[in-house]
Structure 1
Amino acid sequence: MFDFMYDLPEWAMFAVCVLLVGFLSATALILMRILRRLWPPGPHSSNMVNTMLSGILLPTGIVIAFVASDIWQQDAKGRAAVEQEAIAVADTLRVAKFLPAELREQVTGVLDDYIREVIEVEWPLMGDGRASQVAEDQLETLMVISVRIEAGTDQIGLQRAAESLRRYTTDIENARNQRLLVSHDRVLPTKWVAVLVLLFVAACVLSELHMGQRRPLALSLVLFSLGFGATLYLIASFDRPFTGTTIIEPTSLSVLLIRG
């Protein structure tokens, strides 16, 4: 769709989607009226249009269902990645409690800085498909610390703690990478074009079917715009889960920061 929509409040985004389908319906009505003047309908046109309506609504619904399914799967992946990242950070903090005081403060300090960087800096950047290099560097620092602890001690307990620290840091990196991958996903323009073309054709069929009756024509096009506008709103609002007002919030990471 359009990038500006994702900075609008949800009600305004809904209105834009309904108005978009309404514009397609109005354009279809104008086109079919012009076509009627240039090419008057024959005696059997009504039966043909009735058959065409059911025939065009079926592929329209199927295409929209496939697009919506892809979008909701990506949204679920994004939410799962955020939860996995928070769990890995919590596990790292738990392991840090068994380290000596100096190392514990160093690890928890890096983790606190990482959480703040992700929440305050990286989250807004993901709306444009970008990431924070500072957060990347902090994870690398945490990995280096774990390797140094593991290589610089003969204590079995400390070595195991360092090994766990390294493993959980890897889990944080993997979950973060998945989150960043989801932030890059968009509905392809070809899919949007296919959906809009199908909606336009369906509006043309509705216009032709009720052309001689003003009230059924107005009601059918208004309800068509409202129904499919709401459908487009659902798809658009889940299209970019880390963008605009309808986003996945870093709630789990914020809770860890407060507890820490």
Structure 2
Amino acid sequence: MFDFMYDLPEWAMFAACVLLVGGLSVAALILMIVFRRLWPPAPHAYTMVSTMLSGILLPTGIVLAFVASDIWQQDAKGRTAVEQEAIAVADTLRIAKFLPVELREQVTGVLDDYIREVIEIEWPLMGDGRASQVAEDQLETLMILSVEIESGTSQLALRRAAEELRRYATDIENARNQRLLVAQGRVLPTKWAALLVLLFTAACVLSELHLNHRRPLILSMALFSLGFGATLYMIASFDRPFTGTTVIEPTSLSVLLVRG
């Protein structure tokens, strides 16, 4: 729903969210003006009370809290997956030191290629929820290599190292899968639609309450747009942990590549 904003600078993304809520507020104001002209209130009729606004803002705040909680949990899962992947790669490199020179070079070569592929190719792809098939193939190569080492030797120490190598290769694969799942996660359009409808309804109530007083109307609309626009910006910016302004960087994997 907010795809166009992820190519914008951070300040422009914030401004777009504020303008979105501001547009909803203006639309609500126009609707209430038209509604009042079509159905004018009686001279001594009761006006809408301010508690109506509180009643609308309560479910709006609840929906915002649930959506924001889901987003930040996904962001935390993504960062955890990246750290776990880096730890598993580091453990694999540590085990590779106990292998014969030829086998060690094969293992470290596959791992270096995997890290480069993930950092240079797969990371940009995750912004669109995609993955690198080359990285997948390199993990398969590492797994096959560990099985070949284990089945091709009778030395207990080497077999033990191969078992650990296979286990850590599985850990890398599991962490990568979790990372890719987080990259594919998005706030559902139905949630965005419900949130925008609630904001529009709140803006309608706000307009009706201050329709006869220009200064309070302008100030309340401006503050409403700024406050809820900032909230939408926070949700939208964290909606995609591997792109946009809050991108999770492959720092841990880059450190391992430099060390290797």
Using the alignment, how far apart are the partners of 2:214 and 2:142 within structure 1?
Answer: 69
C-alpha contact 2:53 2:205 (8 A) present in aligned 1: yes
Aligned-partner SS, 1:154: coil
The Cα shift of 1:40 comes to 1.3
Using the alignment, how far apart are the partners of 1:84 and 1:45 within structure 2?
Answer: 62
User: 1:183 matched to which residue of 2?
Assistant: 183
After superposition, give the CA deviation of every residue in 1:118-139 in whole Å (9 maximum; x if it has no partner).
0000011111111100000000
**What one-letter code is carried by the residue in structure 2 that aligns with 1:123?**
W
The Cα shift of 1:10 comes to 1.2
The Cα shift of 1:220 comes to 0.2
After superposition, give the CA deviation of every residue in 1:145-204 in whole Å (9 maximum; x if it has no partner).
100111111111111110000000000000000000111110000000000000000001
**What one-letter code is carried by the residue in structure 2 that aligns with 1:189?**
P
User: 2:231 matched to which residue of 1?
Assistant: 231
Aligned-partner SS, 2:244: coil
After superposition, give the CA deviation of every residue in 1:93-137 in whole Å (9 maximum; x if it has no partner).
000011111111110000000000000000111111111000000
Instruction: Report 1:199-210 matches (<5 A).
Output: 199-210=199-210
The Cα shift of 1:44 comes to 4.2
User: 1:125 matched to which residue of 2?
Assistant: 125
User: 2:21 matched to which residue of 1?
Assistant: 21
Q: TM-score, normalised by structure 1?
A: 0.98
Using the alignment, how far apart are the partners of 1:245 and 1:233 within structure 2?
Answer: 10
With 226-235 and 7-16 compared, the bigger mean Cα shift is at: 7-16
C-alpha contact 1:83 1:252 (8 A) present in aligned 2: yes
Q: CA RMSD in A?
A: 0.9
User: 1:8 matched to which residue of 2?
Assistant: 8
Using the alignment, how far apart are the partners of 2:92 and 2:141 within structure 1?
Answer: 14
Q: TM-score, normalised by structure 2?
A: 0.98
2:46 aligned with 1:39: no
C-alpha contact 1:183 1:240 (8 A) present in aligned 2: yes
**Where do 5+ consecutive residues of structure 2 fail to align?**
none
**Where do 5+ consecutive residues of structure 1 fail to align?**
none
Percent of pairs with identical residues: 83
C-alpha contact 1:10 1:246 (8 A) present in aligned 2: no
C-alpha contact 2:110 2:138 (8 A) present in aligned 1: yes
**What one-letter code is carried by the residue in structure 1 that aligns with 2:148?**
R
Aligned CA distance change for structure 1 residues 117 and 45 (closer, same or farther; 3 Å): farther
Using the alignment, how far apart are the partners of 2:74 and 2:45 within structure 1?
Answer: 47
User: 1:114 matched to which residue of 2?
Assistant: 114
Using the alignment, how far apart are the partners of 1:44 and 1:137 within structure 2?
Answer: 73
Instruction: Report 1:155-170 matches (<5 A).
Output: 155-170=155-170
